[in-house]
Chain A
Amino acid sequence: MSPAGAVDLCGIELAHPIINASGTFDAIAARRAFGDAVLERFPFSAYVSKTITPAARTGNPPPRLWEEGAGMVNSIGLPNKGLEGFLEADLPLLAELPVPLIVSVMATSAEQFAPLVEAVADRSEVAALELNVSCPNVHSGLIVGEEPDETAALMATLRPLTAKPLIVKLTPNVAEPATIAIAAEQGGADAVSLINTLKAAPLLVDGTPWLGAGSGGLSGPAVRTIALKQVADVAAAIEIPVVGMGGVERGSDAATLLAAGATAVAVGTASFRDPLAAERIRAELEALQPVAGGGSGKP
């Protein structure tokens, strides 16, 4: 069987295993730039939206980007139209995409999360939700996705609200992501996705932070082997499917994540450099011969 063939991601039928990482491909802006070719040649088998929050956010002050030799640091700050703006302005356009829609959501407490999840899950255009838990709980001050108990408590609130798949996006900024993944699974998550960006702070020689927000998150090829380790550890610890991502640039990178236990692979930073990178990655994945133990050897 081709490694680039159809997969089942917690009940969502994907034509192939390559999806996008949240916040790395704005399908609406891409149509402004490239026209309807975006619909005709959509490179992902599912579309994960940029994270939406209950209220609109303008995002962080610039500069928001820093270039590294094998990646980049961003501190974008989740600019979005908020739930109401998303449902009115963006959802109808995203519903025109030829693939299942996964909506990424974030809030700063379970009480804020609940109505957001309910309102999004209620829409027939939405196939699944991704829970961005890389945010502090305003009550405890703890980052939800860094604490198994916080993650379990959030899932206890959200799981009863919808039958649609809930995918928990895991942060790599913990010693043992598998402990968070186990908490998510026990709380009723249908899948997990990882890795989010790694905390990073580009500084000038005098120690001044470059980024407007002071620090941000590292992505790109620099994080690939960290992602491989964490995806393998998580996949070994849980039964639910794993969406693997982190520095995927080539078909062999996708194959390696699949071999590490991922069911689907997300492309992120590579799409910035080439908006059709995911199409090439999928073609390269398809051309790879499955090898014993998976993967394609050293890239």
Chain B
Amino acid sequence: MPARADSEPRAAGRGEDGRVPAPFGRRRGEVIANEPSGGYRIITALDPGGPLPAAGQFYMLATEGGWGGDGERPFLPRAFSVAEATGGAEGARLSFLVEDVGPGTARLATLSEGDGLLLTGPLGRPFSTPDELNPDAAGAILVGGGIGLAPLAIWRRTLASRGIPERSLLGFRDRQHSGGLELFRCSEIRLASEDGHAGHRGYVTDLLERMLAGDSARTAVVYACGPPAMLEAVRALCELRGVAAELAMESPMACGFGACFGCAMPLRSGGYMRLCVDGPVVRAADVETALVMGAGHR
């Protein structure tokens, strides 16, 4: 049984905010699985010599062939939160949740076992622990929408391994835009779907609103990742109820390591942060809105 990424992190090798530094430079991982999962795909690669990431961190991904070489998009690498990570003698096994929505994700979706996956990472700021966000925290509420459930999957495992109670609320648009639930196995999950094909018919934020009703808000901590409208609903609800929350956000980015300044995210205090090095996990209280222009490159 390989050691889990979500076992307690090694004290050595962690930088500011608990982030795990990336090896310098882009390296070649090798795809070991590319499986359909509902309307998504779970792509797993072996990263020889790479470190285990902290939950919430991301990688810049590109395929070894057919990427940026033929004068056609995709040209820039794509940022993906890691959904699952396990370590062993042969290196880190990293899983990413991919939905085919554009030239980059379409190319990634075609990867086969043995193909090269070029990766830079782990990058960015990971999730904070519940007690760092709320000294009275009794546990964590994870709120995911669509492929945004990816970073919550690895965070759930990390929390479980530390004995921290967690409940997961996952929402999907419809059957075609859902998947990745196997990443949450052995977890307490409540589902919502806009078309009613699974769980509550409606938004995942309806479930969150119910959960935060009463006095449970005092001991709650919310972690959310999903489309901007969902994140904004979570942010506004948590602000209204005074609940500490972290949001794992997305933005177009060319580099992922602070070089391009493309992933500017407006700060409540004025100016911008770079989502790649100051996020992608941000304190909900630090942003004015989660409704930001421009999703990631597709």
CB-nearest residue of chain A relative to B62? A273
Q: Is there contact, CB below 8 Å, between A79 and B257?
A: no
Cα–Cα, bound, A41→B22 (Å): 14
Q: Is A205 an interface residue (CB 8 A)?
A: no
Partner of B21, one of A24, A33, A64, A210: A33
Q: Is B68 an interface residue (CB 8 A)?
A: yes
Q: Is B135 an interface residue (CB 8 A)?
A: no
Q: Is B16 an interface residue (CB 8 A)?
A: yes
Our count of residue pairs bridging A and B at CB distance below 8 angstroms stands at 147
Q: Is there contact, CB below 8 Å, between A67 and B73?
A: yes
Cα–Cα, bound, A71→B271 (Å): 27
Q: Is there contact, CB below 8 Å, between A67 and B75?
A: yes
Q: Is there contact, CB below 8 Å, between B75 and A32?
A: no
B window 110-145: CB within 8 A of A: 118, 120, 123-124
Contacts A29-B258, A35-B21, A273-B62 given; does A59 touch B75 at CB 8 Å: no
Map CB proximity to B onto A193-232 as digits: 1 under 8 Å, 0 otherwise: 0000000000000000010100000001100000000000
Q: Is B214 an interface residue (CB 8 A)?
A: no
Q: How far is the CB of B221 from chain A (nearest CB, A)?
A: 25
Q: Is there contact, CB below 8 Å, between B260 and A76?
A: yes
Q: How far is the CB of B297 from chain A (nearest CB, A)?
A: 5
Q: Is B163 an interface residue (CB 8 A)?
A: no
Q: Is there contact, CB below 8 Å, between B24 and A271?
A: no
CB-nearest residue of chain B relative to A23? B261
* Chief secondary structure at chain B's binding surface: loop
CB-nearest residue of chain B relative to A220? B75
Residues of B within 8 A of A276 (CB): 24-26
B window 132-163: CB within 8 A of A: none
Cα–Cα, bound, A214→B266 (Å): 18
Residues of A within 8 A of B263 (CB): 62, 64
Cα–Cα, bound, A34→B255 (Å): 13
Q: Is there contact, CB below 8 Å, between B75 and A69?
A: yes
Residues of B within 8 A of A279 (CB): 25
Q: Is B71 an interface residue (CB 8 A)?
A: yes
Residues of B within 8 A of A269 (CB): 254
Q: Is there contact, CB below 8 Å, between A67 and B76?
A: yes
Q: Is there contact, CB below 8 Å, between A34 and B22?
A: yes
Residues of B within 8 A of A60 (CB): 264
Q: How far is the CB of B66 from chain A (nearest CB, A)?
A: 12
Q: Is there contact, CB below 8 Å, between B259 and A26?
A: yes
Map CB proximity to B onto A31-45 as digits: 1 under 8 Å, 0 otherwise: 011110110010000
Contacts A38-B24, A69-B73 given; does A29 touch B251 at CB 8 Å: no
Q: Is there contact, CB below 8 Å, between A58 and B21?
A: no
Q: How far is the CB of B13 from chain A (nearest CB, A)?
A: 9
Q: How far is the CB of B12 from chain A (nearest CB, A)?
A: 12
Q: Is there contact, CB below 8 Å, between B26 and A275?
A: yes
Cα–Cα, bound, A28→B257 (Å): 10
List 9 A-B residue pairs with CB atoms under 8 Å apart, sorted by A's residue number: A58-B270, A60-B264, A61-B293, A64-B262, A65-B254, A67-B76, A269-B254, A272-B254, A275-B26
Taking beta carbons and an 8 Å cutoff, which residues of B are in contact with A? 15-16, 19, 21-26, 62, 68, 70-77, 118, 120, 123-124, 251-266, 270-272, 274, 277, 292-294, 297
12 more A-B contacts (CB under 8 A) besides A65-B260, A69-B73?
A28-B258, A30-B257, A33-B22, A33-B123, A33-B277, A34-B24, A59-B264, A62-B294, A68-B73, A74-B262, A271-B259, A274-B118
